[in-house]
C-alpha cells in the first residue's frame, strides 16, 4: 500500500506541476511579437534573413553587418518617401 501511495502522489505532483506551468518569458514575448506582425511582414523578414545568411557569415560581427549594409545599400534601400 505504501509503494502505491508514493507512485500516486508522484504522478499527482507531476500532473499538477505540468498544469500550473506558465509560459517562459521568452515564449510569451515571442507570442506577442508574432501576434503583432502581419503574415506579409513575417514573410518579408524571413526573406531578409535568408538574403543576409546567403551573403554574410553567421554569427555576424558588427563589422560584418556594416559590410553587408554597405554592399547592398542601393539594392535593398527603399525609395525616399515624398512629403506632401
Helices 39-55 and 62-76: crossing angle in degrees, nearest 10, is 120
Instruction: Tell whether the model's pLDDT for residue 81 goes beyond 90.
Output: no
Domain assignment present for residue 44? The answer is yes
Give the CB-side neighbour count of residue 39, counting CA atoms within 13 A: 0
Domain assignment present for residue 84? The answer is no
- Unique residue bearing C-alpha cell 523578414: 45
Domain assignment present for residue 49? The answer is yes
- Kindly report the pTM of this predicted structure: 0.51
Confidence category of residue 70, pLDDT binned at 50, 70, 90 = very high
Contact 52, 67 (CB under 8 A): no
33 is in which domain, residue-wise?
Answer: 23-75
Compute the distance between CA of residue 45 and CA of residue 67 in angstroms, rounded to an integer: 19
Q: What is the DSSP letter of 70?
A: H
Amino acid at each position: 500500500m505504501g509503494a502505491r501511495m508514493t507512485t500516486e502522489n508522484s504522478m499527482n505532483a507531476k500532473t499538477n506541476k505540468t498544469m500550473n506551468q506558465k509560459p517562459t518569458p521568452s515564449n510569451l514575448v515571442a507570442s506577442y511579437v508574432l501576434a503583432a506582425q502581419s503574415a506579409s511582414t513575417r514573410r518579408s523578414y524571413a526573406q531578409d534573413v535568408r538574403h543576409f545568411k546567403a551573403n554574410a557569415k553567421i554569427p555576424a560581427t558588427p563589422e560584418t553587418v556594416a559590410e553587408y549594409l554597405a554592399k547592398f545599400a542601393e539594392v535593398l534601400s527603399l525609395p525616399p518617401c515624398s512629403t506632401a
